[in-house]
Amino acid sequence: MDSSAEPPPAAGGSSGAPTGASEDGTHDWTHKLAQTDHVRFFRETDWNRNGLGPPKDWDPTLQLFANFVHADSRAACLWWGPDAVAIYNEAFAPMCHGVHPALMGSTYARGFPELWPYIRLMFEESARTGIGQNVNSDTPLLVERNGWREEAFFSGSFIPIGPPHHPLGFYNSVFEVTDHKLADRRTSMLNKLAAVPDQKTNVVMTHVLTTLATNPHDVPLAVMYKFDFDDTLGERTTLRLQGQIGLPEGHKLLVDVADITSDEGLVPELRRAGSEAIFIDCDQRFDNASWRGWEAPSKKIAVLPISSSTRLFGYLVVGLNPYRPFDDSCRQFVYDLNRMVSSIVSAAINFELAETRRDQLECDLAVSNLKLRHLVEHASVGMCHVAIDGEMLWANDQYFRLAGRSAEQHLANYSFYDAYLEEDLPQVREVWQELLAGVEHIHAEFRMKRTYTSPTGEEIPASIQVLAFPYRDPDSGHVRSVMACTTDISRLKWAQAFHARSAAEAREAKRQQEAFIDVVSHEMRNPLGAIVHCADAIIAMAEESKCAGVTVPGDGALAEIVQHAKIVLQCATHQRRILDDVLTLSKLKSMLLSIKPVAVEPSSLIRSIMNMFDAELDSSSIRCTVNVDSSLSDLAIDQVYLDSSRVTQILINLVTNAIKFLKLANEPSVLITLGACASHPRGFFPDKMFWADGEPSSDVTNTPEWGTGEQLYLTMIVEDSGIGMTDDDIARLFKRFSQANIKTHVTYGGSGLGLYISKELAEKQGGEIGVTSVSGKGSKFGFYVKCRRREEEAPDTTKPINGTEHPTTVPQQLHILLVEDNLINQKVLSMQLRRGGCIVEVANHGIEALEYLEKSTFDAVLMDSEMPILDGLAATRMIRQRELEGKGLLNSAMARGPRAGTRLPVIAVTANVREEQIQAAMDAGSDDVVQKPFKVQELLDRIYALIHETSREALVNHLTSATSTITLNEAASEDQ
């Protein structure tokens, strides 16, 4: 070839323009190749050592294919001649790690002696068949590129060159399949991980390590830890080694058990990782590790938490492939491995927990079923299940016991009917039909044919309570059967009947007791009344004689008679108080005593009570002082709401006791102190006060009748200069039928009821009672009660018409109708009334009273309650009825006279003193009730007060009528 045929100089990669001619003038085809470092290396290779000679002398075929190899962009190598001499391009060089550059111009047998036996057979087969051979290598190769070794996979082919069956060489083209091979290998391992042979945690852990061992190139080292699980603990801190790959026995990184807070082995790295995957560099801690795969230490170590979304189960530490770059592909593989291991371990642990829970639930269910069966079989409640055709499907033993029939007797349909009493069968059948109709549930009680023996030995039909409900088909909702529970209530039904009888008997006993008390009270108060009237008359006659200056023979004897009469009066008064105490005690026992508030002025109430004792105090020469404490004025107390009758009863008891125990005192005196406070009432009394045990009522003043005024405490102290008491005496004071000591009753008398009743009355009114005393120096009794301030009312602005006042008029001489069946009481009381200046007519019973009222006009009627023919209550009702109807003289008396416009005052004079009896008298039409015995002067005072009130009412009626008349006249004037 001449020089004119040489190509122009190549651009780039050459040190100068090739001339295309050698020194001897022959043409050199290699100068037309791209002038790269690899081509220069190719040209500088000693080709004489393998018998090919200089490239310029190669035959055209070799030149052609050598040129083709260098022009191929893929990795390619030409194995030429019988010895397979290597001619390869720059792309093929990295795949010749360890033999490049020596491989260039060398033979296959020298370059790859370990592979030559297999490749030689492929060459021979290709020569025999004339067909090229493909090579799909599953064996990774370490290639040198980018300055470090890298695992890679290649595929290629050997194509024969030259005549068929006598090839001159083989063209070897190669292409890289590393990514595909790595993906296949790693995916295969992950798939194997997913194929868990068993859901037990220890099996799964072993499976993970075994599977990782199948891919030593990607996982040359692995260590697995798991937390110890204990559901009773809130945290898991103990790590336990589950297995490892690549660490020899006794290596310092192998720690069988460690706490997460320790610094042993890899625990600090696990602690640092927490619940996120981290990567660490391989350091001296991994020295002496038995690295698998390439038997080279990893450059990166991955610490992977084995976890679910809510729980951390352990850690997996893996060494990464030392001959693969730590790039996104590598990270993705690690993350996929982490997710897969976490998933299967989490599933295994959750499965075990579920299994454990299921086993526990099954165990609990079995125990529960056992307990339920035991409960059903031994329950005191009968249970049964009945089909809608009446067949007994199931029943426990208690059901048969309550039915009084055996299981064999329940084999026939509807045989359960036979257990019930004939009288109750219609109700049983009705209940059954309601259940079949779909009623949700039914409670019923039935009597049985079997009998029950009561505690009293009485034989009665047994009774059961039935709770029955239908069982419905879940799909259709139709009733499929009926279930029922039966309970034996025989004793309950007997007890109800027994208690009903007992209650009736108790009511009858109470009625008889009240009747007895009424009879005793009536029969004792009637003669007591006569006694009081007679003694009062004797004393009054003596006083009248003395005032008139009449000299009576035997004045000393008369004075003695008066003294005796006073003693009789005191005894009668004492007897009356005992009767009142017995009545009060009866009410307390029956829980019938009620508190009824009225508006009172406290100091006036105390003085009125003490006025009752004036005669007794004077006769006993006892000095009595009433002290109103400044606390009343400080609190600006005028009137308060309280039960004045109960306060009066307490104070009378205390004053009576004080007077009683002053009999032997040298200077007898009684001091009554009245006070008030807004709170802490005990502070008003001495510190050493002994308070009776009890519970004051807390809500006594909360009802509407008490008003809405400020709640206050009214305090009273009764202090005497009597004999006093010891501490032992005080401790017994407030008990029923108890006195200070055995000598008290002998010396001073009494029933032992007064203080007990006073204690109960004080507590009923929200208060307490107490005492302080020094033996020989007197006693100080005190009590307090709750009350409410009476709210101020608007003053009465009514003015007299035309400025003229109409004073109320009270007759100077009262005309009294006494209605009394007891002849002694008639005689004594009428005599006393006449001595008091009254005109008295006497009627023996109600009919006579009505007859008198048709003949004469009276100022007042004193009506006894218990009388023959017509009693006092009936007579009073008839009087009021005639007044309403406007009949007879009663109507005329209402139209004129001092009480014009008002009804006839009727005062019930009775020995029936129970509250309901007093109320009955008031309901019948009485204007007041006076209890026997009483003093005539007290009765007269109440008659005058009542007539004064009725006269005032008549005046109001008159004024109202007059005002109406004036108003009508004014209206008429305006019309005109």
pLDDT in tens, 524-572: 666 776 677 777 777 777 776 667 665 556 556 666 677 667 767 666 6
**Dist CA 641 CA 709 (whole Å):** 9
Nearest alpha-carbon partner for 255 in 242, 265, 244: 265
Q: Nearest 5°: phi and psi at 496? A: -60, -45
Cross-strand partners of 781 = 718, 771
Report residue 752's pLDDT band, with 50, 70 and 90 as the boundaries: low
Assess whether pLDDT exceeds 90 at residue 430.
yes
Q: Does domain 379-488 have CATH number 3.30.390.30?
A: no
Q: Residue ranges of the domains in the chain?
A: 36-176, 199-356, 379-488, 598-604+620-789, 813-951
Assess whether pLDDT exceeds 50 at residue 242.
yes
Tokens coding 850: 């009505």
| Percent of the chain predicted with pLDDT > 70 | 82
CATH number of this structure's domain 36-176? 3.30.450.20
Assess whether pLDDT exceeds 80 at residue 787.
yes
What's the pLDDT at 208? 94
220 or 943: which leads in pLDDT? 220
What's the pLDDT at 661? 80
Average pLDDT, the chain: 82
pLDDT in tens, 304-350: 999 988 889 999 999 999 999 999 999 999 999 999 999 999 999 88
Backbone CA torsion sign across 738, 739, 744, 750: negative
* CATH class of the 598-604+620-789 domain in this structure: alpha beta
Domain 199-356 identical in fold to domain 598-604+620-789:
no
What's the pLDDT at 590? 54
**Dist CA 862 CA 947 (whole Å):** 13
Q: What is the second-level CATH architecture of the domain 813-951?
A: 3-Layer(aba) Sandwich (3.40)
pLDDT in tens, 895-930: 554 555 578 889 998 877 677 788 888 999 998 888
Assess whether pLDDT exceeds 70 at residue 964.
no
Rounded (10°) CA dihedral 19, 25, 26, 31: -20
Q: Give, as one character, the DSSP assignment of residue 101.
A: T
Tokens coding 216: 């030593």
**CB-side neighbour CA atoms (13 Å) of 394:** 7
208 or 724: which leads in pLDDT? 208
Report residue 141's pLDDT band, with 50, 70 and 90 as the boundaries: confident
**Dist CA 159 CA 146 (whole Å):** 30
**Dist CA 31 CA 11 (whole Å):** 12
C-beta of residue 115 within 8 angstroms of C-beta of residue 135:
no
Mean pLDDT for the stretch of residues 583-598 = 67
pLDDT in tens, 626-649: 999 999 999 999 999 998 888 988
Assess whether pLDDT exceeds 80 at residue 385.
yes
Q: Give, as one character, the DSSP assignment of residue 707.
A: -
Tokens coding 636: 């600006």
What's the pLDDT at 6? 36
pLDDT in tens, 487-509: 999 999 999 888 888 888 878 87
**Structural Rg of the chain based on CA atoms:** 64
What's the pLDDT at 374? 80
Assess whether pLDDT exceeds 50 at residue 581.
yes
What's the pLDDT at 960? 47
According to CATH, the superfamily of the domain at 199-356 is: GAF domain (3.30.450.40)
Report residue 789's pLDDT band, with 50, 70 and 90 as the boundaries: very high
Ranges 517-531, 744-758, 827-841: which has the least confidence: 744-758
